[in-house]
Amino acid sequence: MVSVKRFIGSSGERFAVLIDSEGIPLTYPNLYTTINFRNRGHSVNTIVSVLEDIELLYYLLNKLQINIEQRIKEKLFLQLHEIEALVNLANFKRNYLLNKKTDRKIVSFPEKRREAVRAKIVIKNDNVSKNLIYRRLTNFADYLHWLETYLCKASATNTAKIMKARRPRKTIDHSADYKSFEQDQINLILETIDPSNQKNIWSSDFLNYRNELIIYLLLYLGCRKGELLNIKLSDFVQSNGSFYLNIKRNHDDDSDTRLYQPLVKTRSRGLALNLNLKKKIDQYILNYRSHIANAESSDFLLISNQATPLSINALDKIFTQISSRFQFRVHAHAFRHTWNDKFTDKVQPLIDSGRLTEDKAENDRAYLMGWIPGSQSARRYAKRAEDRRAIEVGLGIQNKFEENDE
């Protein structure tokens, strides 16, 4: 059984390899990711994602009794029914395919009538999203094409082309997963996490003030989880009487001891802090963070009780604990959506009055969010504002008809 292993190099670089059951790295998958991803500067999370799909590919090939490397060396490339079998199996959840935490057992392939059995595989409630199927088949196809080219340079096959042609269409409508908080929900969250609340979620002042600061940073700045967890004390600066936070890209930061390093995916930028947020930051640092043993050894703003940088899992646990108090889910990215809604509400009157152009407003949004101007992410939020305006116009037309009836 193969698996993905992460590690931190002596230089601080995060990397991952695919290893066999004895812990020995597999030659071709790791050579592939080194050449095509590591050497091109891709993040460790991207490399892990690719390796996990290749791991799944090898598992499925093993189930189908296909030694892909030997087959390619012998120029016995995958046949159409074998490609179809891989495409079919790529639709299913990993836990199902790996026979973990499922009510059903992994489909076994008898020696006889193997192709007939493959065509009749039916699994209920174990399918994955179309986007994940698309990603898997893309990584399957790209790796197989590279492997065929590397092991058998003189041969040209259609394996990758056939497999990619069977990918589902990617889902591009993001309206269903866009969820921001309503104002009454924000009020409930802030009231619940207030350290002066008699029904505190957490047991210590340090946790209460740290976790309150987490919510305010996400709400006021609209930052991502990776950006939040990488804020350092040295990132705060003062200039001309104003206070700023510098968000920095941090790949392979050798001062970060976390194996699963939170990454800053967006562009570096400086964000201004209002007095209320600055007061909360100072209060946490001076009165609570400073009381943690060895806190001075870490430059990270958000730390654990052991003075280690707060992990992604620990942050997710905080949101699970907060969510348990409500009938709605509280998660980090919803604050980013909420910030963008507030930004739209702020700039729309300026646009309507002619004091600000839509292009300038969207460039400002892109800067504050860390996007490249004109990016698809920025366009997504702009489209949401356009949709809201269209809905308001539609309601206005309906009301106009009622006024005429009267």
Q: What is the pLDDT along the chain (406 residues), one digit of tens a residue?
A: 789 999 888 777 888 999 999 999 999 999 999 999 999 888 888 999 999 999 999 999 999 999 999 999 999 999 999 999 999 999 998 888 877 554 444 455 555 444 544 444 444 556 888 999 999 999 999 999 999 999 988 677 899 999 999 999 876 655 545 578 999 999 999 999 999 999 999 999 999 999 999 999 999 999 999 999 999 999 999 988 899 999 998 777 878 888 888 888 788 899 999 999 999 999 999 999 999 999 999 999 999 999 999 999 999 999 999 999 998 999 999 999 999 989 988 998 998 899 999 889 888 999 999 998 777 777 777 667 677 778 888 888 888 887 766 5
Sign of CA dihedral 206, 211, 214, 220: negative
pTM to 2 decimal places: 0.73
DSSP 8-state assignment for residue 34 = I
How far apart are the C-alpha atoms of 65 and 79, rounded to whole Å?
A: 13
Q: What are 269's strand-pairing partners? A: 247
Count Cβ atoms below 10 Å from residue 276 Cβ, excluding itself.
Answer: 10
Every domain range in the chain assigned CATH 1.10.443.10: 177-333
116: which 2 tokens?
Answer: 């007939």
CA distances from 368 to 68, 245, 329 (A): 48, 12, 25
Which class does domain 177-333 fall in? mainly alpha
How far apart are the C-alpha atoms of 367 and 139, rounded to whole Å?
A: 32
How far apart are the C-alpha atoms of 55 and 139, rounded to whole Å?
A: 11
